[in-house]
């Protein structure tokens, strides 16, 4: 991913006028942290700071977080997409959709989703 490409991120503050708007130019990188050099983003409009992980498309999913976490848990365990779909109760395309997004980070994403608090919105 392009180091400076912030177009796929958006402000996570629901009270912000720029909330949910991608590529709006309101986000800047303020810091990096962790072994993966995760970026801390800041919204110029409302001055909210949030991790780039929270701004990724995964968290805009229409599925409940629990369901996404279930999908990723199965995938991370090596369960095939067909079987995962049956176990979780979603369409197989949904599974492959998330699997593709998560890639090798399925376990990591799962852990984040499980600890994810809706209050963070
Ligand atoms: Zn904002």
Per-residue pLDDT at 120: 44
Task: For 60-115, give the DSSP string.
Answer: G-SS-HHHHHHHHHHHHTT--HHHHHHHHTS-HHHHHHHHHHHGGGHHHHHHHHHH
Reported as a pLDDT band with limits 50, 70 and 90, residue 54 is low
Q: How far does the centroid of ligand 1 lie from the alpha carbon of residue 98, in Å?
A: 27
Higher pLDDT pick, 5 / 81: 81
Find the 61 Cα to ligand 1 centroid distance in Å. 20
User: pLDDT, tens digit, for every residue of 69-115?
Assistant: 888 888 878 888 899 999 998 888 888 887 777 665 656 666 666 55
Residue predicted with more confidence, 13 or 61: 13
pLDDT at 2 over 60: no
For residue 39, how far is its CA from the centre of ligand 1 (angstroms)?
16
What was the pLDDT predicted at 51?
81
């Amino acid at each position: 991913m392009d180091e400076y490409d912030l177009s796929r991120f958006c402000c996570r503050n629901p009270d912000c006028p720029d909330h949910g708007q991608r590529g709006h130019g309101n986000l800047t990188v303020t810091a990096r942290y962790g072994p993966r050099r995760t970026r801390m983003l800041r919204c110029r409009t409302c001055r909210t700071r949030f991790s780039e992980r929270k701004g990724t498309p995964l968290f805009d999913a229409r599925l409940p977080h629990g369901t996404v976490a279930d999908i990723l848990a199965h995938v991370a365990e090596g369960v095939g997409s067909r079987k995962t779909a049956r176990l979780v109760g979603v369409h197989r395309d949904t599974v492959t959709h998330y699997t593709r997004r998560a890639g090798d980070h399925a376990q990591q994403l799962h852990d984040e989703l499980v600890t994810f608090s809706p209050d963070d919105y």
